Structure 1
Amino acid sequence: MKGWVKTLWVIGLLVFALSGVTFAQQDKPGSKDHPLFTRMDNFYITHYWEEKYGEVKFKDEKGKDIKVEGKVYQIWYEIKKGFTPPSGLQIIRNYENAIKKIGGVKVFQEGSYEIWLKLDKGGKTYWVYIDSWAGGGKGANYRLTVVEKETMAQEVVADAKAMLADIQTKGSASVYGIYFDFN
């Protein structure tokens, strides 16, 4: 009887250990592809980050840094074990061709591993960056960054009437968060 129980334990441990390999190659819980793009075949999401309003550096047509503000998505993809990874160039060309088919353009390309794209569609401007150098440029993983450019929703309001009342009663008004650059 003891031998039979030991065998069940060994089988159970093997099943548990092997299931970890399978689960490790599934998308990170709560992650998703950006609605503009599908992913490369045989890749899964390892990291996913979404920010309601942020700032990301992109490149303009001349390769100079520019800052783009809006809703930020950053998604890291990794090739599943047992599959041959595509080249870095193959990854960025796939995204370039996909965005061109829906009216987007290539803004700038750095070597065979990085590309910056832009799309104006549906009243929104999308800035896209693909870095296929992650993992040493062997195509084993890549990062997709998308910024849906938008103006930040203003939440703080300066009330001119309240300031005027302070000036009339106190002779001054406090204004916070406004800084002046002077020499």
Structure 2
Amino acid sequence: MKKAIFIFILAIVFLIPAFAQEDTEGCKDSPMFNRMPNTVIAGCSKNYDEFAIPTAQDKSETKEGTKTFIQYAYNNESGVPAPSYFQIVKNFENAVLKIGGKKIYYNKDAGLATFFTKSSGKDIWIVVMDMAGQNLGNFELTILEIEGMQQDINASDLLDTINKNGSITLYINFETGKSDIKSESQKTIDQVAEMLRSDHSLKISVEGHTDNAGTPIANKTLSENRAKSVMDALIIEGIDKTRLSYKGWGETKPLSDNNTENGKAKNRRVEIVKL
């Protein structure tokens, strides 16, 4: 009897490591999201890569950027039933909505959900996939970070372009849904001001454009406010306000297809038009 008890205790001792699940060494959560309860990281990777992002039924868009991959496994020894895939998706959806993002695609049967948001001038795609379609609390998280529209411009090139084409298209980063110019776009403002200082006869109209997210009225107001912010920034740079005017076109003059995020990004722009 005592021998049987000893064997039983010994078995428990050797089973303890199996219950004490830990994250794979070197792996950690994304700072964007809180971890689902009772999960551990079974694998991870981070590199610059391309990724096919599900955007609709049998449709995907292949994009490239910094790809973070995290594989989560549910700890079945927690004593708590595993969350459904629907519950996992809602957790991520709530987190994305709080930071101004949105859900792009959800297919419960296929175990796929895609979200999109922006942060620090980057387009961020999030894909949550039910691992092996088992609906057992195990899932894979892929985050693709794509640098926003960037321009390497100088005053001389700007002057040549506006004299040749009559306008310049600029991608100035603003706070989401606002007209506040982000600090990373100050270099662009500086170069436009330098262009105007190099030709004192040049007068311009600063014209704002948006994508089709939101209502037409709201977009027109936003585009006007953003155009005015750029004009005001040029006045601060010492440009005579009599040489400047502004206008907002809202979503009425798209450059690209508003049905894709890349198209929307191209449509969110400021144009400098020679008068």
- TM-score, normalised to structure 1, is 0.68
1:150 deviates by 3.0
1:140 paired residue number: 137
Equivalent residue, structure 1, for 2:96? 99
Residue-pair matches, total: 142
Taking only the aligned residue pairs, the percentage that are identical comes to 31
Partner of 1:67: 62
Structure that is richer in helix per residue = 2
Q: Over aligned residues, Cα RMSD in angstroms?
A: 2.6
Residue 33 of structure 1 aligns with which residue?
Answer: 29
Letter in 2 for 1:107: I
Determine whether 1:116 maps to 2:111.
no
Partners of 1:62 and 1:77 lie apart in 2 by 25
Unaligned runs of 5+ in 1: 1-6, 152-183
Dislocated runs of 4+, deviation >6 Å: 9-13
SS of 1:77's partner is strand
TM-score, normalization: structure 2? 0.46
Higher RCO (C-alpha 8 Å, min separation 6) = 1
SS at match of 2:95: helix
| Structure 1 position 45 matched with structure 2 position 41 | yes
| 1:10-58 per-position Cα deviation (integer Å, ceiling 9, x unaligned) | 977753x2342134x111111000111111111111111111x100100
Q: Using the alignment, how far apart are the partners of 2:57 and 2:139 within structure 1? A: 24
Shift of 1:63: 5.7
Measured in 2, the distance between the counterparts of 1:76 and 1:41 equals 14
Alpha-carbon distance in 2 for matches of 1:105, 1:62: 17
State the AA in 1 paired with 2:80: F
Q: Deviations over 1:117-170 (max 9, x none)?
A: 0111211111000012x144323301100011138xxxxxxxxxxxxxxxxxxx
Q: Structure 2 unaligned segments of length 5 or more: list them.
A: 1-5, 149-275
